[in-house]
Amino acid sequence: MHIIRQYQVPLQKYMAMMDLQESNEKLFYKLLIDNVEEMLPIVYTPTVGEACQKYGSIFGRPQGLYISLKEKGCIHEVLRNWPEKNIEVIVVTDGERILGLGDLGCQGMGIPVGKLALYTALGGVRPSACLPVTIDVGTNNENLLNDEYYIGLRQRRATGQEYAELLHEFMSAVKQTYGEKVLIQFEDFANHNAFDLLAKYSTTHLVFNDDIQGTASVVLAGLVAALKVVGGTLADHTFLFLGAGEAGTGIAELIALEISKQTNMPVEETRKKVWLVDSKGLIVSSRRESLQHFKKPWAHEHEPVKTLLDAVNDIKPTVLIGTSGVGKTFTKEVIEAMASFNEKPIILSLSNPTSQSECTAEEAYTWSQGRAIFASGSPFAPFEYEGKTFMPGQANNAYIFPGLGLGLIMSGAIRVHDDMLLAASEALAAQVTQENFDQGLIYPPFKNIRKISAEIAAKVAAKAYELGLATRVPPPRDLVKHAESCMYSPAYRSYR
Ligand SMILES: O=C([O-])CC(=O)C(=O)O
Ligand SMILES: [Mg+2]
């Protein structure tokens, strides 16, 4: 840590940590686990975003497995070349929508590598059981295509049948190589593939889309926790999203599902509590024909509304959630409007990295005169406003996927079910203490994350057994203890 702390530039710290991961894996995890709040912004958002943008020019040695169009027909053999045979979790991207940064082609590899480092550090999955994969079907990013240091195929993205066939071969090869209990986490695919891949493979594979489902679970947890401060039930609230892609519609659907479970109202009804704004304005019924399929359930009866500010003033949401991937979109007027009709407006600015955040912590607190309950996808430093220090929480799927994954693995689950996401949310929300609330937090601090992950894993595993989706029998008696006992810890073995 003494060495790492001497680097002033976050990207240099990132490079030093990646070198360490290669040269002394145990020490890498020891540092990450013992200094999680300090190191998370380095190995994860926001620095990992910059690392992906510059991946080619900081490239030292390969991490993870690249599968390109050229490997078509022999993906099974490529997987078998990976030295570890006992794989339990794969995080795979095709790099088309890396965080809110867009198409970074196969430089997106930083994301599967970073997510899997968190699987180990935060969720205790053994490092050797983790496989980062990047599918290289080209990139439409002209800058990268012209960059002499670009590490991927220099062609525009394959689409349609060519794309679907490569993905299908990959999915089949994974099952053939590692069996049906390997967890495949889809990460940072573009909207136009993410929903379809999840729908297509969720009935045959143990798959989970982190951007749709992981983000939904973490945000629902924050909202459930926030109710203790703002009062009422979820059904008493009105939700407005800026951004109707994977995260926006994923969160919206999980909120509607939870309200439906709580009220016994059909989900078609509870969806009406939730409104979404995309780049063309409020999603309303008159736009239905031209909407992508994942937006259609949110096309409620309403006059057309063009801007976010007009939508805020019309809908009067109690909760405003940014999932647009576009920074600075929660303007002063928007936050002031939220604060004008809410005593404690809930404002979640989820886009990553920090540059894409819809607003900063400082803006949310200042423009709401210190009344906002604020959390963001990327971390913000504590902010002092009129003598009070506010701790912005980090509403990031990193709270959920490591524990969820551990729960799936330890129960031998064969499918991911929405009720597991709800169970994970509930487990996370239950970890927020009065002391956290007093500081303005709706999430527990990351420093307790391994304990939190064990709680989440236990609840997810319990749900898997309850739903008949778990294969590891008999179920352990104490699931939390069992989760803790399964966790990798970075200790050197003693010499004999
Ligand atoms: O990686 C993160 O920090 C959260 C996430 O999934 C995304 O922004 O795509
Ligand atoms: Mg993501």
Cα–Cα dist 144/49, whole Å: 15
For residue 31, what pLDDT band results from cuts at 50, 70 and 90?
A: very high
Kindly tell me if the per-residue pLDDT of 60 is higher than 90.
no
Taking the CA of 396 as reference, the closest ligand is: 1
pLDDT digits (tens, 9 = 90+) for 371-427: 999 999 999 999 999 999 999 999 999 999 999 999 999 999 999 999 999 999 999
- Per the prediction, the chain carries an average pLDDT of 97
CATH superfamily of 2-205: Malic enzyme, N-terminal domain (3.40.50.10380)
Average pLDDT value for residue range 194-205? 98
Q: What would the DSSP string read from start to end of 43-58?
A: HSTTHHHHHHHTTTTT
Does domain 214-396 correspond to CATH entry 3.40.50.720? yes
Q: 89 has which bridge partners?
A: 130, 183
pLDDT (average), residues 290-319: 98
Asked if residue 371 lies in contact with residue 339, where contact means CB atoms within 8 angstroms, the answer is yes
Strand partners, 284: 300
**Beta strand pairing status for 346-349 and 373-376?**
parallel
Return the pLDDT at 496.
81
Residue 228: which of 453, 438, 446, 459 has the closest Cα? 438
According to the annotation, is 143 in a ligand binding site?
no
> Counting atoms of ligand 1 from 1, which one is nearest the CA of 115?
1
Q: How far is the CA of 353 from the centre of ligand 1 (A)?
A: 8
Query: Is 97 labeled as ligand-binding?
Result: yes
- Closest-CA residue to 319 (of 296, 349, 280, 295): 349
Q: Across residues 454-478, what is the average pLDDT?
A: 97
- What confidence score (pLDDT) does residue 315 get? 98
- pLDDT the model gives residue 424: 98
Taking the C-alpha atoms of residue 85 and residue 74, their distance in angstroms, rounded to an integer, is: 17
Mean pLDDT throughout 124-139?
Answer: 98
Sign of the alpha-carbon dihedral angle for 223, 252, 372, 344? negative
Peptide bond into 132 cis (omega under 30): no
What is the number of the ligand 1 atom nearest to the C-alpha of 100? 8
Q: Which CATH number fits domain 398-486: 3.30.420.40, 2.60.40.10, 3.40.50.10380, 3.90.1170.50?
A: 3.40.50.10380
347-373 pLDDT, tens per residue? 999 999 999 999 999 999 999 999 999
pLDDT at site 96? 98
187 labeled binding residue: yes
Average confidence (pLDDT) over 210-233: 97
Long-range CB contacts (within 8 A, 24+) of 125-129 = 125/88, 125/89, 125/402, 125/405, 125/406, 125/409, 125/488, 126/88, 126/488, 127/25, 127/29, 127/488, 128/84, 128/86, 129/84, 129/86, 129/87, 129/88, 129/89
> Of ligand 1's atoms, which has the minimum distance to the CA of residue 45?
3
Q: Return the biggest CA–CA distance within the chain.
A: 75
- Ion ligand 2: residues, Cβ under 5 Å: 188, 211
Q: Strand, coil or helix: what is 317?
A: coil
Scanning the structure block, which residue is given the tokens 């487990």?
Answer: 427
ipTM here: 0.99
pLDDT in tens, 230-277: 999 999 999 999 999 999 999 999 999 999 999 999 999 999 999 999
Tokens of 262: 């709580």
- What are the counts of helices (DSSP H) followed by strands (DSSP E) for the chain? 21, 14
CA 370 – ligand 2 centroid, Å? 30
Nearest residue (by CA) to ligand 1, atom 8, is 99
Q: Same fold for the domain at 2-205 and the one at 214-396?
A: yes
Mean pLDDT across 300-312: 98
**C-alpha of residue 292 to centroid of ligand 2, in Å:** 20
248 phi/psi in degrees, rounded to 5: -60, -55
> What's the gap in Å between 99 CA and the centre of ligand 2?
6
% pLDDT > 90, the chain: 99
Q: Residue 291: what pLDDT?
A: 98
- Provide the phi-psi class of 473: left if phi over 0, else alpha when psi is between -120 and 50, else beta: beta
Cα-Cα-Cα-Cα dihedral sign, residues 420, 247, 431, 373: negative
pLDDT one-digit tens code per residue, 151-183: 999 999 999 999 999 999 999 999 999 999 999
Nearest-CA residue for ligand 1 atom 9 is 99
SS3 string, 130-188, reads EEEEEEECCCCCHHHHCCCCCCCCCCCCCCHHHHHHHHHHHHHHHHHHHCCCCEEEECC
Active site positions, annotated: 44, 115
Judge contact between 323 and 248, C-beta under 8 A.
yes
Is position 352 annotated in a ligand binding site?
A: yes
Q: Which atom of ligand 1 is nearest to the CA of 352?
A: 8
Q: How far is CA 375 from the centre of its chain?
A: 14
Tell me, what's the pLDDT at 169?
A: 98
Expressed in angstroms and rounded, the spacing between residue 440 Cα and the centre of ligand 2 is: 25
Using most ligand atoms within 8 A of CB, pick from 93, 215, 321, 357 the residue to mutate for ligand 1: 215
Asked if residue 300 has pLDDT above 90, the reply is yes
| 2, pLDDT greater than 90 | yes
The stretch 58-69 carries a mean pLDDT of 94
The set of protein residues with a Cβ atom below 6 angstroms from ligand 1 is 45, 99, 188, 210-211, 352, 377, 396-397
Q: Any binding-site annotation on 188?
A: yes
Half-sphere exposure of 274 (CA within 13 A, CB side): 29
List the chain domain ranges: 2-205, 214-396, 398-486
